[in-house]
Amino acid sequence: MDNELEELARRAVACKAWRWLPGVLTQFGRIYERPNGEVVLSGRAWRMGDIPTVSDLLPDLTDPATLGCLLALVREAWGDEGAHAVPVVSTNDRWAVDVDAVCPIAGHQHPTETHALVRALEAAP
């Protein structure tokens, strides 16, 4: 993971709305939930509430499933099931997050979809 993505991952995990969801890929493996409520992370079983959130466990923000989980967290945090990241048409190389709620980051443009989603999670009420 390059330094910029690692910093974004750290920012995401530091958000009050962050939580580990099944499907997130970490540097130690993907998080899966078993029917009995246990979560498997890189071959080790954890209870969902006990997954370590220490700084050495970071989401892989290049993974499509992890980005889907990040979007789900943004939607949950803003209470808007339709929230989504959109490319800014006028610039063609910037991204914004569209939420129905009064959003302090509405109209703010970011260099990637991932940046926009992390910023939306950080700004969530």
Q: Which two tokens stand for residue 40?
A: 């498997």
Predicted confidence at residue 41, as pLDDT, reads 73
How far is it, in rounded angstroms, from Cα 30 to Cα 112?
23
Summarize the confidence of residues 75-102 as an average pLDDT: 78
Predicted confidence (pLDDT) at residue 98 exceeds the cutoff of 80? no
How far is it, in rounded angstroms, from Cα 11 to Cα 4?
11
Question: Which range among 43-47, 69-73, 100-104, 110-114 has the greatest average pLDDT?
Answer: 69-73
Predicted confidence (pLDDT) at residue 9 exceeds the cutoff of 90? yes
Which distant-in-sequence residues (6+ apart) come within 8 Å of 61 by Cβ? 5, 8, 9, 12, 67, 70, 114, 118
Q: pTM for the full model?
A: 0.80
Summarize the confidence of residues 5-24 as an average pLDDT: 93
Predicted confidence at residue 96, as pLDDT, reads 75
Predicted confidence (pLDDT) at residue 45 exceeds the cutoff of 70? no
- 57-67 confidence digits (pLDDT tens): 899 999 999 99
